[in-house]
Structure 1
Amino acid sequence: MTLKGVGFKLCFYDKIDGRPVYLYVSPEQMAAYRYRKYLRGSIVDQIPAHRYVTVYAIGRVEQSPSAKQWNLLVDDLRNLGLVLGPQRAPAPSTAPDGDTESL
C-alpha cells in the first residue's frame, strides 16, 4: 500500500495475465467523499498492521496505457468496501547479544 497525500494506492496479491492489479484512489476522490475521515483514519491507515485486506468494489478493470498493469477503477467511493484481515504477528525483537527473544 502506498499513501498518496490524502489518496492511496493498493496492489493486489493476485495478478491478471501475469501483470499486477492496482486500486488507486486519488486525493480528489477522497476530498469528494463524505466519509473520508473514517475511511482514511479507521481503515486505510490501519492496513500496514494487517496481513490482508479484502476489497469489495463495483467498478471496472482496465489495462493501463503502457499495458504493464491493470487498474481497478471505482467511480464512486460508496461502491468500495475494505475489510481488514488478521493482524500481522509481531516481529521478534532481537536481544543485544543477537539471540531472538520468544514472545
Structure 2
Amino acid sequence: ALNRAKSEPSEMAKFANKKGISSEDYFHEQDSDSAQARMVRDNRNEKFSGAGAISSSSYFGKEEPEDNFDDWAGMATVARSGLSKGAGMISEYIAKVRD
C-alpha cells in the first residue's frame, strides 16, 4: 500500500489536464504503442475534446443507422392502430368489470 501511495502523485500529474480517462489510458503503457497508433488515439481524443457527452459508437467510429423519415408515417399508422386496439380492449375490460 505504501508503494502505491508513492506512485499516486505521478499518476495524478499524468492525468491532471484530462477531462476524462479510460481504463486503457490508465493501465496501458502508451510508450509501447506505435507512432501511428498514438496519432490515431490522439486524433480521436481531440475530436471529442469539447464534447459534453459522447456515445461509444461515436468514439470508436461505428456507424449508427440514420433515421429513415419515410418510415415514420408507417410507424405512426401502426402505433395509432395499436393504441386504438388497446383502448378497445380496455373499454371491454371495464364494461365486464362493471357488470
Q: Which range, TM-score by smaller chain?
A: under 0.3
Would you tell me which structure has more strand in proportion to its own residues?
1
Higher relative contact order (CA 8 A, sep 6+): 1
TM-score (norm 1): 0.23
Would you tell me which structure has more helix in proportion to its own residues?
2
Query: Who wins on radius of gyration, i.e. which is larger?
Result: 2
TM-score (norm 2): 0.24
